[in-house]
Structure 1
Amino acid sequence: MSLRQSLYGTGVALVTPFKSNGEVDLDALSKIIDFVINGGTEYVVTLGTTGETPTLSKEEKIAIVRFTYEKVNGRVPIVVGIGGNDTAELIKELETFPLDKATAVLSASPYYNKPSQEGIFQHYKALAAASPKPILLYNVPGRTGRNMTAATTLRLANEVANIGGIKEASGDMAQCMQILRDRPENFLVVSGDDALVLPQIACGMDGVISVAANAFPQQFTHMVRQCLKGDFKAAKSLNDVLIEAYDLMFAENNPAGVKAFMTELELLQNNLRLPMVPLSEGLYRQVQGFLKGK
């Protein structure tokens, strides 16, 4: 089965909850996984950037992956995030991480060292050759400092067999439409921008990997399903309610925004790892006001 079939709809980029002493809170993670699956998300993504992976040790990452497999227990597909800017180190991780129960590996393009488009291509080609699971490209230039062009994405899609799709978060609608126009038939294209999901699905995307679905799984997945059915009038009425929430979630940083919502929903404690800090007091009050008026 292609990724376009198995990962169609809404995936959620799971946050990593922490205890007040800084340890990973597996009890809260258990609650969150049940919350998003029961809310209708089609699959979960563990160890994405929303999970504060730059501050997790390798041992913590492996423990989170194993716990997620056990908790999900086959209810939905699981995508594991393995990304970075050291190609050789990532190849080692792909060869040693527990990926047996994963559907795919989500891998952000290299950050900070800003490779050329040829460098990005060769990086992903090497990862695809080493990975036991299909690679889902992740283009997020706001974090990485380098956009992966439509031409590079399409070259990877057509020339590298173990690359099954892309999470496209450039925010560039023209680039998205070029990828959608020219992609191979079974190449998955999903949004990485919650606020742009509706128009991007209208252009042909297959769904989204969402931050907002951590806090609003039922409302958000219903909106996405309406989009995928082509009922954009119904989808817009659902999306209009969530627009303010999107703004609040990303006003300062991710995942501080969504963790503020989840704290109010009693899903986790409002703890992050430095250099990330909780939402400022004024914005937190706006989150509370949104939830009260919803």
Structure 2
Amino acid sequence: MDLSGIHVPLITPFDERGEVAYPALEKLAHDVREAGAHLVALGTTAEAGSLTGAERRRVLDLLDRTNLIVGADTPDQLREAGGARAALTLVPPFVRPGEEGVIRHFEALAASSPIPLIVYHVPQRTGQPLTGDTIRRLAAIDGVIGIKYATGVIDTDLVDLLADPPDGFAILCGDDVFLAPMLAMGAHGGILASAHLATERFVRFQREREIAEGHRLARLSTALFAQPNPTVVKAALHAAGRIPTPGVRLPLLPALAPSFYGSLLE
């Protein structure tokens, strides 16, 4: 499966009553696809943990799961995501099972999953670091096809991994501000919340690698992550008239001082 390119982990827009604004979500997904990017549904950026089971299922049906990567971390969620292109599956958070536990966890999930898995490696959130050797062991599991690499640093493990990537294993940038250097080192693309804005520019940059544009997009990403994701992204989309409210669900709170977000693309 070709996972190269820019993937946008869609936000979940809410209306004035705090309910999912499905028409706005459908339009947002259409715009992303028209700009040449791919879709990720029900990831962290979607506030998936705050959605009900019924809301999750309606999102999958609305967006046509056959064209989606879907955030799914448990056997039940993987079954629910059946028919999708792949699942974006988080390294087990909070419990810190150790690297051998992570291997066993993904072996068990992959053995029962109806769709391939992309490992979501974000140790700042999970508390579980992974060495390059462990990532190579994950890549060798049948049914594990890639990784969203979001360690917050460009470390020696990443350099070694990109210098000699496992066959058939996609390495995707998960730290938006590091898109340019990771692409330069050989990453296949990125899963980038920032690409809700300036989607066509992100897609073109992934293809053309123009240095000055990479700097501009990194500055945009820095601004969009100035407060907890996806609060600033939502404020910017609302300021642009693309979603009905900038609302989020608890435990998130709306971004502070949203008035300047409409000028982020200037």
TM-score, normalised relative to structure 2 = 0.94
Identify which of 21, 29, 32 aligns with 1:36: 32
Indicate yes or no: 2:247 matched with 1:271: yes
3-state SS of 1:166 partner: strand
Indicate yes or no: 2:17 matched with 1:17: no
3-state SS of 1:105 partner: strand
Indicate yes or no: 2:82 matched with 1:99: yes
**1:68: which partner in 2?**
63
What whole-Å deviation, never above 9, does each CA across 1:50-93 have from its counterpart, x for those lacking one? 000111122211111111107xxx7xx3101102xxxxxx1233
1:149–1:59 Cα change, 3 Å: farther
**1:156: which partner in 2?**
138
Identity %: 32
Indicate yes or no: 2:256 matched with 1:280: yes
Q: Which runs of 5+ in 2 are unaligned?
A: none
Distance 1:265 1:187 in 2: 37
Identify which of 46, 54, 67 aligns with 1:51: 46
Count the aligned residue pairs: 264
Equivalent position amino acid for 1:50 in 2: T
Identify which of 145, 149, 153 aligns with 1:172: 153
Deviation for aligned residue 1:48: 0.8
Equivalent position amino acid for 1:248 in 2: A
What whole-Å deviation, never above 9, does each CA across 1:100-141 have from its counterpart, x for those lacking one? 1x1111101111111111111111111101111110111011
Distance 2:6 2:68 in 1: 12
3-state SS of 1:111 partner: coil
Identify which of 124, 143, 146 aligns with 2:106: 124
Distance 1:92 1:54 in 2: 14
TM-score, normalised relative to structure 1 = 0.86
Assess if the C-alpha contact under 8 Å between 1:223 and 1:239 holds in 2: yes
Distance 2:158 2:218 in 1: 21
After TM superposition, the structure 1 = structure 2 runs for residues 191-230 of structure 1, keeping only pairs within 5 Å, are 191-227=173-209
Equivalent position amino acid for 2:220 in 1: A
Q: Which runs of 5+ in 1 are unaligned?
A: 84-89, 228-233
Greater Cα shift, 15-24 or 166-175: 166-175
Distance 2:16 2:131 in 1: 41
Equivalent position amino acid for 2:219 in 1: E
3-state SS of 2:64 partner: helix
CA RMSD of aligned residues (A): 1.5
Deviation for aligned residue 1:98: 4.0
Assess if the C-alpha contact under 8 Å between 1:79 and 1:103 holds in 2: yes
Distance 1:278 1:245 in 2: 19
Distance 2:76 2:176 in 1: 32
1:93–1:289 Cα change, 3 Å: closer
